[in-house]
Structure 1
């Protein structure tokens, strides 16, 4: 009998004999050297798989598939994570360089994929409120009542609608370099561009996610694999379901701000709001923080980090985690070679902010 290997016929081999022969021929030298270095009985092999990314789940809402991730245990504090414009569920992985800290602080993250990105089917009729409804459907299915919101960049537009929809269920809101385009205090948007014009300009990014997600000069590049993972988010957003770089979903999201129902009233949201912006951010200037301060009645923190750009939320993700966990009266610092939570009043001027890995 013959076997086909990549379409090429070959005679059946005695694999058992071949394997034994290979082991015997390799045994002298390598095996003895390794035995001398470490006793095999002392090796501790893992019992479970290592983490390589969040599992994507799905449920159906009114005949539409909704995709989400749920990272953490049922006892942890739930946080709804809303990534930046044009991002997919993969965007959350860009914060998992601090997974150990997140788990230590007891933070459970739920994130729901937005319309047209990743595995979510594109429906041009859907808007901000529809996304909030999908998030609430997921939370209800998971049995989650109270939750915090963490929004990055363009995700801020959706965060405002989600908080306004169920203000009594929101425990806190955290906005990292987040847009104010759906707040009543927003600056008037430019709605003069056509969909065709948006398509033409955005297709350069959807066809080449490296340009969409490139962050040259950012401090986050010291994190091994961060930039590669960011490219993976762009690939998931614009390709994973056969979009082939179609800019329609990104154009749609860019134009939502011009719809009649884009602005939402957040005056009933009493949850504390935490704002994190970068002084050097050119994508979402620090001045946008003022719109958040005007739109929400309970601002607990408003900080502008000197010299930080549009990746400020990742550079200070450790502090955001601490704030979300309820340690907003403490600051994450690297002191004496150790990462510590220090009471705010005890933080020295010029102290290094963040875990020691940033040094």
Structure 2
């Protein structure tokens, strides 16, 4: 990362909490420092820095939101927690909320952050005011045969089902490649990612980086770098975790849950999102034109609702 990009990231600092068992959980705070707290949980191959490029600082401040963006286990500054599952992560998140003296928080789960935030809402309804899921992955138990439209993603899911050892090796190789890219020219990294996106996602991605300027680009580079800093084990673990039972029933989440999902999502089939929406007694769903990043084009509306609840 160039010095110019480092400077563009401003004063946003990475912090971490040491948990009772000695593991760490990393996080960073974005938006209005005195605003209403909101816990954001990133998806596959990402980190706490996703909030720095996918969410507009101006919009966060306009709606008076303080976003605490958390590294999931094995990503960024958070220690891996093999076998803990989504309910185990919920305990970590509750400990972080206690450390930050947050009595009530809204949550946002991005992509594979869906399971963790729903687990927290199910386990700690006294803590969670509302849950928002953007392009979220759904439970696949009892679904039968399914595959995402993305051929690359479909291949990874196939390995997760049939050859988990090979999946782990491939994710390790992918992490090494991503890490090398994040240490190089930022524009080249952005271009490489752009070539992998469908047109609908490309439009949203470019708009997010353009609107956020150098700070957004810097946060994106940091996101890629920290997503693979511990290797690819967390990425492989994500796929395997979603193929297993979640350890709780999403139907038990009684608080409000708002799902936003792109109708042309190449990574998470919209049929899975509709099935998840049907299982949530307090759920509402908006299916909008676009791909996996579709919800971020509506972030003003999404964040306004979070601030109002």
Aligned equivalents of 1:295, 1:146: Cα separation in 2: 24
- Indicate if the aligned counterparts of 2:41 and 2:72 stay in contact, CA closer than 8 A: no
- Indicate if the aligned counterparts of 2:38 and 2:108 stay in contact, CA closer than 8 A: yes
Q: 2:272 aligns with which of 264, 277, 288?
A: 288
Alignment deviations for residues 331-354 of structure 1 (CA, whole Å, 9 cap, x no partner): xxxxxxxxxxxxxxxxxxxxxxxx
1:87 maps to what in 2? 46
1:324 maps to what in 2? 306
2:100 maps to what in 1? 142
Query: How many angstroms does 1:268 deviate by?
Result: 3.6
Aligned equivalents of 2:16, 2:217: Cα separation in 1: 27
Q: In 2 relative to 1, CA 168–122 (structure 1 residues): closer, same or farther, beyond 3 Å?
A: closer
Q: 2:256 aligns with which of 272, 282, 298?
A: 272
1:257 maps to what in 2? 242
Q: In 2 relative to 1, CA 123–276 (structure 1 residues): closer, same or farther, beyond 3 Å?
A: closer
Aligned equivalents of 1:206, 1:196: Cα separation in 2: 15
Q: In 2 relative to 1, CA 205–297 (structure 1 residues): closer, same or farther, beyond 3 Å?
A: same
- Unpaired runs of 5+ residues, structure 2, are 1-6, 147-157, 179-188
- Indicate if the aligned counterparts of 2:122 and 2:254 stay in contact, CA closer than 8 A: no
Q: In 2 relative to 1, CA 212–129 (structure 1 residues): closer, same or farther, beyond 3 Å?
A: farther
TM-score normalized by the length of structure 2: 0.77
Find the residue that maps to 1:140 and give its secondary structure. Answer: helix
Query: How many angstroms does 1:251 deviate by?
Result: 1.2
Q: How does 1:39-118 map to 2 (within 5 A)?
A: 52=10, 54-62=12-20, 63-72=22-31, 75-96=34-55, 98-118=56-76
Q: In 2 relative to 1, CA 248–289 (structure 1 residues): closer, same or farther, beyond 3 Å?
A: closer
Query: How many angstroms does 1:275 deviate by?
Result: 1.4
Query: How many angstroms does 1:263 deviate by?
Result: 4.1
1:196 maps to what in 2? 165
How many pairs align? 269
Aligned equivalents of 2:66, 2:260: Cα separation in 1: 21
Q: 2:220 aligns with which of 221, 230, 251?
A: 230
Query: How many angstroms does 1:269 deviate by?
Result: 2.5
Query: How many angstroms does 1:83 deviate by?
Result: 0.9
- Unpaired runs of 5+ residues, structure 1, are 1-48, 328-359
Q: In proportion to residue count, which structure has more helix? A: 2
Q: In 2 relative to 1, CA 158–92 (structure 1 residues): closer, same or farther, beyond 3 Å?
A: same
Query: How many angstroms does 1:150 deviate by?
Result: 0.7
